Amino acid sequence: MKRLTLVLLLITALFGAACSSRFEPAPVETLSTRIASTNNLTEISGDTYTVQAGDTLFAIAFYSGNTYRDLAKINNIPAPYNIQVGQTLRLTPAPPKNIANKNINVAKSAQKSTKVVVDPPSAQAYGGNKQAKARKKQTKRPANSIKADKIPWIWPATGENKIATVGSDGSNRGLDIKGRLGSEIVASASGKVVYAGNALKGYGNLIIIKHDDEYLSAYAHNDKILVGEQTYVEQGQKIATMGQSGASEVMLHFEIRKKGKSRDPFLYLPKE
């Protein structure tokens, strides 16, 4: 009897230990663009920027309207483009020394002069120099130059829902197009691929296309990237397939940025 009691107690103890040590998976948190856009800095302005914890050269370049290659060149940063907290980066090229010296000399000459001239008229501005005016008419704009406000944007993907994403400050953060895994993503406008990778937190597999000196477009959460950096793409060209890298569901997160500032894509894309 005693032996039976001991056996029962032993079984009860083992069962209790097994229950208390039962495996329970840890909660999984997914980082979507919507979450990232409300918690992270997404626009940088000014001529310089001081590196903060968690910054990467890729993010600073994107949020300031630059390409990471240009930013690395301006600041003499070699690959793999490591930066340090507290480091001050130039976001625009420094003016040439001869121009800076010329400006100093002009300022000194102005201080010595006692004659004050307020807004002297420009002969060319008022049609005084006919020869220069004729030359100006004959000058053709380069074929690859695009007037930013007249870029003929098209929709980069098709999907069931098209939702504007908004940051915690109320500013626009682009739009999400929810669609099917593997469906095609095309270039919304012609331009040069200046980034293709996944180094930007919250964007997953990302493509950035530079259209001119002001405008960039971004295509995030791709499944497969089909174009390489430093290649030119035509409007409508397939550049990726839709996925959910860095997102909680299958979608394309699309942004149009002008000088680093996110614009409302619905104001640029054609009405459906």
Q: pTM above 0.85?
A: no
- Position 18 in a domain: no
With respect to residue 204, please indicate whether it lies within any of the assigned structural domains: yes
Q: Residue 74 domain-assigned?
A: yes
| Least confident window among 1-10, 63-72, 145-154, 185-194 | 1-10
Q: How far apart are CA 216 and CA 193, in angstroms?
A: 10
How many other CB atoms are there within 10 angstroms of residue 205's CB atom?
21
Domain assignment present for residue 136? The answer is no
Are 64 and 161 part of one and the same domain?
no
Q: 78 and 173 share a domain?
A: no
Q: Which pLDDT band holds residue 141 (cuts at 50, 70, 90)? A: very low
Domain interval for residue 257:
150-267
More confident residue, 127 or 236: 236
2 — pLDDT class (breaks 50, 70, 90)? low
In total, how many domains does the chain have? 2
Q: 173 and 75 in one domain?
A: no
Q: Which of 75, 90, 105 is the last residue of a domain?
A: 90
Helix ranges restricted to H, the chain: 2-20, 33-39, 57-64, 68-74, 97-112, 130-138
Q: 67-96 pLDDT, tens per residue?
A: 899 999 999 999 889 999 999 999 988 877
pLDDT at residue 25 above 60?
A: no
Whether 250 and 157 share a structural domain: yes
β-pair partners for 84 = none
Q: What is the DSSP string of 173-203?
A: EEEEEE--TT-EEE-SS-EEEEEEES-STTS
Residue at which a domain ends, from 49, 73, 90: 90
133 part of a folded domain: no
| 228 SS3 class | coil
Higher-confidence residue: 106 or 53? 53
Same domain for 154 and 262: yes
Check whether residue 168 and residue 69 sit in a common domain. Answer: no
Mean pLDDT of 127-134: 36
For residue 168, give the CATH number of its domain: 2.70.70.10
d(C-alpha 203, C-alpha 222), whole Å: 9
Q: Once rounded to an integer, what is the mean pLDDT over residues 25-39? A: 33
Which of 164, 174, 165, 158 has its CA nearest to residue 216?
A: 174
Residues 172 and 252 in one domain: yes
Query: Does 103 have pLDDT greater than 80?
Result: no
Q: How far apart are CA 209 and CA 220, in angstroms?
A: 12
What region does 119 belong to: left with phi over 0, alpha with psi -120 to 50, or beta? left
Does pLDDT of 42 surpass 90? no
Residue 129 lies in a domain: no
Contact 52, 70 (CB under 8 A): no
Decide which of 71, 90, 109 is a domain's last residue: 90
Q: Domain for residue 57, yes or no?
A: yes
Residue 139 lies in a domain: no
pLDDT computed for residue 157 by the predictor: 96
| 166 and 259, same domain (yes or no) | yes
Task: From residue 33, give the alpha-carbon distance in Å to each of 38, 246, 268.
Answer: 9, 8, 21
Instruction: Give dist(CA 17, CA 123) in Å, integer.
Output: 94
Which tens digits make up the pLDDT trace of 197-246? 998 888 999 999 999 989 999 999 999 999 999 999 999 999 999 999 99
Residue 103, classed as helix, strand or coil, is: helix
Beta-strand pair 48-50/238-242: unpaired
DSSP string, 129-166: -HHHHHHHHHPPPPTT---GGG-----S---SEEEEEE
CATH of the domain at 71: 3.10.350.10
Length of the chain as a residue count: 272
Q: Tokens in use for 120?
A: 């002297």
Q: Is the pLDDT of residue 190 over 80?
A: yes
Can you tell me which residue has the tokens 């682009």?
Answer: 174
Q: Mean pLDDT for the chain?
A: 74
Greater confidence (180 vs 167) lies with: 180
DSSP 8-state class, residue 93: P
